[in-house]
Amino acid sequence: MNKSRVISTAAVVFIGFIVLILLTSEAFVTINVGEEGVLFHKFGKGLNKEKVYSQGFHIIAPWNTMYKYNVRIQEGHEEMDVLASNGLSISVDLSYRYSPMKDKIGYLHDEIGTNYLQTIIIPEIRSSTRQAIGRYTPEELYSTKRDAIQTEIFEETRKAMEEKYLILDAILIRSVKLPPTIKTAIESKLKQEQESQEYAFRIEKEQKEAERKRIEAEGIKQYQNIVSQSLSQSLLKWQGIEATKELANSPNTKVVIVGGGDSGLPLILGGN
């Protein structure tokens, strides 16, 4: 009797202990929207790099640990001083977008950990930015080559990040700050170049207009030459006769003098 009571009591205590363990927060894990998780088995084989837990509710052994990762696209900013090809110091402000590879969370956690932004992304961006900008002059960075430099930084950083199970979505150069004297000199030079291009455009326009007028004048001259060569005395007399006939048939009152002109054509006087 006493023995069975002891066994019953022990069973109740054991069940209660199990329930108490299951009710602790460590046994119930919720992975939120935009997160993925990997599980570390404390008394097993350690981190399961192949299995990735998606969002939702999960029950795990309380002695195991679930590591959660934000897999949404995140944004960061970085401002740094770099050297141009001529050794001039330039301040560059960048923004970048990144995210972990969802199916490689286990490998990311095993090799790098949750602090991958500080240990991988920022150092790689800084290194690529210095290398890319070091190939250009301040003038190119400030004006004509910014897009090309931005693309170079992106490509170099993207390759390095993919090797560490990270995705680089974009890198944007937000601003470039030059020393005031250099900035003024570059802006002055760019203004002079624009004025020179505008002046060259005006000259080209005037040259085209002069060429157009020359061609037009040559056309008029050729036309006049052709007309003057085709106007013979006989043709003029014939046209005069035709005009006289039309005027004679007109109902308006007029006086006709036959043979009154130097050319022998009739003169027509008066008429309303």
Residue 157 has pLDDT above 70, yes or no: yes
Across all residues in the chain, what is the average pLDDT? 79
The residue assigned the tokens 């990762």 is 69
Higher pLDDT, 130 or 59: 130
Domain ranges of the chain: 2-70, 74-178, 189-230, 233-269
Q: What's the pLDDT score for residue 231?
A: 59
Q: What's the pLDDT score for residue 17?
A: 65
Domain 74-178: what homologous superfamily? Answer: Band 7 domain (3.30.479.30)
pTM: 0.59
**E strands present in the chain:** 28-31, 35-41, 46-47, 56-59, 65-70, 74-83, 89-100, 166-177, 255-257, 267-269
Answer for the pair 190, 143: CB distance below 8 angstroms, yes or no.
yes
Query: 180-188: which pairs have CB atoms within 8 A and are 24 or more residues apart?
Result: 182/88, 182/138, 183/142, 186/138, 186/139, 186/142, 186/143
Q: What's the pLDDT score for residue 154?
A: 94
Half-sphere exposure for 246 (CA within 13 Å, toward CB): 6
Answer for the pair 254, 269: CB distance below 8 angstroms, yes or no.
yes
- Under the banding of pLDDT at 50, 70 and 90, the label for residue 127 is very high
pLDDT in tens, 160-169: 999 999 999 9
Higher pLDDT, 152 or 44: 152
As beta bridge partners, residue 166 has: 100
Q: Specify the DSSP class assigned to residue 53.
A: B
Q: Specify the DSSP class assigned to residue 206.
A: H
Q: How far apart are CA 156 and CA 128, in angstroms?
A: 6
Residue 122 has pLDDT above 90, yes or no: yes
- Under the banding of pLDDT at 50, 70 and 90, the label for residue 136 is confident
The stretch 113-124 carries a mean pLDDT of: 93
Which residues contact residue 122 at a Cβ distance below 8 angstroms, ignoring those fewer than 6 apart?
A: 76, 78
Q: What's the pLDDT score for residue 27?
A: 79
Highest mean pLDDT out of 28-42, 78-92, 211-225, 230-244: 28-42
Which residues contact residue 66 at a Cβ distance below 8 angstroms, ignoring those fewer than 6 apart?
A: 29, 31, 37, 38, 39, 40, 53, 58, 60
Which residues contact residue 124 at a Cβ distance below 8 angstroms, ignoring those fewer than 6 apart?
A: 157, 160, 161
Residue 91 has pLDDT above 60, yes or no: yes
What is the percent of the chain with per-residue pLDDT over 90, rounded to a whole number?
Answer: 31
Residue 59 has pLDDT above 90, yes or no: no
Q: How far apart are CA 114 and CA 47, in angstroms?
A: 14
pLDDT in tens, 197-246: 666 677 777 788 888 888 888 887 777 677 666 656 666 666 666 666 66
Q: How far apart are CA 25 and CA 133, in angstroms?
A: 51
